[in-house]
């Protein structure tokens, strides 16, 4: 049995890469305020992190930030770092304009949001790539480097669209859950949320939620029932019969379910247990208790007018800042209204019309349905819609609620993987891989990228796969 450990060696060699000894450095680049207007020389500071990893790196991996604030921790670990080590590349992490500390304007008035577009963000990336490949950065160290973009969610979208818009600057892309196909409505988002409750929780969990939703739907048809719902959910004011107020109430529940699956999928079993707690009399009360535990210790705001007021706050300190930014992009460029056309929630709970009215009331009457449809058509025309560029590795987690808006098919040079996984799980490091399937997915992604950049497949993937099959065979042999 002396040879048995040798079968494990290839797997172990590629599942636990060495930790970087470098600390990502925060830096800034003044990028053009309006990338589409040559006569405008105004700039604003865009933040990025730089992790050279070693002294002899020759290529570049850029982790593309999306609709969030970037952090140095993400520039020091994860699949992007693993890919960079394998390609002898340095790692960069860019922050998207309007997010984090990369702020073009002192507030988010509609006039100041006019440059929050896909085109402008892609222009920032293009300028950034030209900068790090110029003599102005590290004495031209990366002048002949090949560039790989890696992105999760909206970062994956920007990375993929960069390959289409600037193929001379971007040689390869890894996108995990980057939505591409813009459309007005995305009811499948909630369908996936419910499916995650079923897969990570149980069928009974879904039934408990349906029972609670049925109780609420029945109760709000009468004035007495409205009072009961208001009391159980501790609403700030009595729930009215206004369609917009009722939709606002449902949205408060739905947004917590979405956040659970979007950011805290490991907490799904705990949530399902709360929805089944025998300590509470009715399913509606159990749902209200779970919701209360997840929210600040305040009343539940159900007035549509208050929602609009919060989203029209243009301060950079607004608690609804990110929601306002996301709504602006959704209302004019991508759509993806998360309507409730899916069971077990009532179809009318949060209709598409709610999203459209919110666009108009928060921004202006200019943001109507015709404006949105025009923006959606432009996004799909300019950036390919369902068509994916070549040399893009696309990972579509089946437990990612945005997966219905991600690419369906890829060509010979556009591999597509569909793991049973939540969003962005493929971009964690080998060290944090939850199982062998996840680890093998990452090896395949690294294999594809190495082949795209060097023309030579990554030996780790094939060797690891062979080792797994050999181990299985040895296991059967020992049993027999």
Q: Residues 22-34: pLDDT tens digits?
A: 789 999 999 999 9
SS3 130: helix
The mean per-residue pLDDT over the stretch 180-206 comes to: 93
The predicted model gives 188-200 an average pLDDT of 93
**408: confidence class by pLDDT, cuts 50, 70, 90:** low
Q: CB neighbours of 192 closer than 8 A, spacing ≥ 6? A: 261, 398, 399, 400, 401, 403, 404
* Enclosing H/E stretch for 307: helix 304-311
| 2, burial (CB in 10 Å: exposed 0-12, middle 13-18, buried 19+) | exposed
- Could you give the dihedral angle defined by the CA atoms of residues 292, 297, 302 and 304, in that order, rounded to the nearest 10 degrees? -130
Contacts of 407 (CB under 8 A, 6+ apart): 180, 181, 386, 387, 388, 394, 396, 414, 416
Query: Which tokens belong to 133?
Result: 């490949």
Q: How far apart are CA 381 and CA 449, in angstroms?
A: 27
Average pLDDT in the 403-419 region?
Answer: 79
Residue 386: pLDDT above 50?
Answer: yes
Burial class (CB in 10 A: 0-12, 13-18, 19+), 349: buried
The first and second tokens of residue 259, run together, are 């956040």
pTM: 0.89
* Whole-angstrom distance, CA of residue 226 vs CA of residue 218: 10
In this structure, the number of other CB atoms found within 10 A of the CB of residue 48 comes to 23
Dump pLDDT digits (tens) for 211-269.
999 999 999 999 999 999 999 999 999 999 999 999 999 999 999 999 999 889 999 99
Average pLDDT value for residue range 44-71: 93
Alpha-helical runs (H) found in 335-429: 352-362, 369-383
Which of the listed CATH numbers 3.30.420.40, 2.40.240.10, 3.30.930.10, 1.20.120.980 matches domain 184-376? 1.20.120.980
What is the per-residue burial (b if ≥16 Cβ within 10 Å, else e) of 248-272? bbbbbbbebbbebbbeebeebeebb
Residue 462: CB partners within 8 Å, gap ≥ 6?
447
Mean pLDDT of 444-471: 67
Whether the CB-CB separation of 250 and 190 falls below 8 Å is answered with no
Domain spans of the chain, in order of start: 15-181+386-459, 184-376
Count CA atoms closer than 13 A to 398's CA, side-chain side. 9
C-alpha–C-alpha distance, residues 229 and 244, integer Å: 16
Find where tokens 């709360």 sit: 274
Choices 3.40.50.1820, 3.90.320.10, 3.40.140.10, 1.10.3720.10: CATH for 15-181+386-459: 3.40.50.1820
| Cis peptide bond prior to 356, omega within 30° of 0 | no
Q: 193-197, 372-376, 385-389: lowest mean pLDDT where? A: 385-389
pLDDT, residue 474, reads 28
State the average pLDDT over residues 4-12: 34
Whether pLDDT at 406 is above 80: yes
User: What's the whole-number mean pLDDT along residues 331-341?
Assistant: 92
Query: By C-alpha distance, which of 290, 309, 288, 298 is closest to 237?
Result: 298
Does the pLDDT value for residue 466 go beyond 50? no
Which pLDDT score, from 0 to 100, does residue 459 have? 58
pLDDT higher than 70, residue 19: no
Residue 14 has pLDDT above 80, yes or no: no
């Amino acid at each position: 049995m002396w040879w048995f450990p040798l079968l494990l060696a290839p797997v172990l060699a590629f599942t636990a890469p060495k930790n970087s000894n470098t600390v990502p450095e925060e830096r800034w680049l003044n990028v053009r305020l309006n990338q589409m207007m040559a006569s405008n020389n105004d700039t604003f500071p865009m933040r990025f992190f730089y992790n050279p990893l070693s002294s002899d790196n020759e290529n570049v991996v850029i982790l593309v930030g999306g609709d969030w604030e970037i952090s140095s921790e993400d520039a020091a670990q994860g699949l992007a770092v693993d890919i960079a080590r394998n390609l002898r590349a340095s790692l960069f992490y860019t922050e998207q304009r309007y997010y984090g500390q990369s702020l073009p304007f002192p507030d988010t008035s509609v006039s100041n949001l006019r440059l929050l577009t896909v085109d402008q963000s892609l222009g920032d990336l293009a300028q950034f790539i030209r900068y790090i490949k110029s003599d102005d950065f590290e004495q031209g160290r990366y002048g002949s480097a090949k560039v790989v973009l890696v992105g999760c969610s909206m970062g994956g979208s920007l990375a993929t669209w960069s390959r289409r818009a600037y193929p001379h600057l971007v040689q390869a892309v890894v996108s995990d859950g980057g939505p591409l196909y813009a459309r007005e409505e995305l009811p499948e988002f909630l369908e996936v949320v419910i499916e995650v409750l079923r897969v990570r929780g149980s069928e009974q969990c879904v039934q408990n939620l349906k029972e609670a939703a049925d109780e609420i739907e029945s109760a709000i048809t009468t004035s007495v029932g409205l009072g009961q719902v208001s009391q159980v959910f501790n609403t700030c004011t009595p729930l009215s019969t206004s369609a917009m107020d009722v939709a606002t109430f449902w949205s408060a529940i739905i947004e917590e379910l979405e956040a659970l699956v979007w950011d805290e999928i490991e907490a799904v079993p705990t949530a399902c247990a709360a929805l089944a707690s025998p300590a509470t009399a009715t399913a509606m009360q159990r749902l209200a208790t779970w919701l209360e535990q997840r929210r600040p210790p305040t009343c539940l705001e159900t007035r549509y007018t208050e929602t609009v007021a919060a989203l029209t706050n243009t301060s950079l300190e607004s608690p609804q800042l990110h929601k306002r930014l996301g709504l602006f992009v959704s209302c004019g460029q991508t759509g993806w209204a998360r309507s409730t056309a899916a069971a077990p929630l009532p179809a009318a709970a949060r209709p598409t019309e709610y999203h459209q009215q919110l666009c108009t009331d928060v921004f202006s009457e200019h943001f109507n349905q015709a404006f949105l449809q025009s923006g959606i058509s432009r996004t799909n025309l300019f950036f390919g819609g369902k068509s994916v560029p070549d040399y893009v590795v696309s990972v579509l987690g089946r437990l990612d609620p945005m997966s219905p808006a991600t690419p369906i098919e890829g060509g010979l040079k556009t591999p597509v993987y569909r793991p049973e996984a939540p969003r962005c799980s493929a971009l964690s490091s080998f060290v944090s891989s939850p199982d062998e399937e996840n680890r093998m997915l990452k090896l395949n992604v690294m294999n594809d990228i190495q082949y795209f950049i060097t023309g030579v497949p990554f030996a780790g993937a094939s060797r690891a796969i062979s080792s797994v099959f050999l181990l299985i065979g040895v296991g059967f042999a020992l049993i027999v």
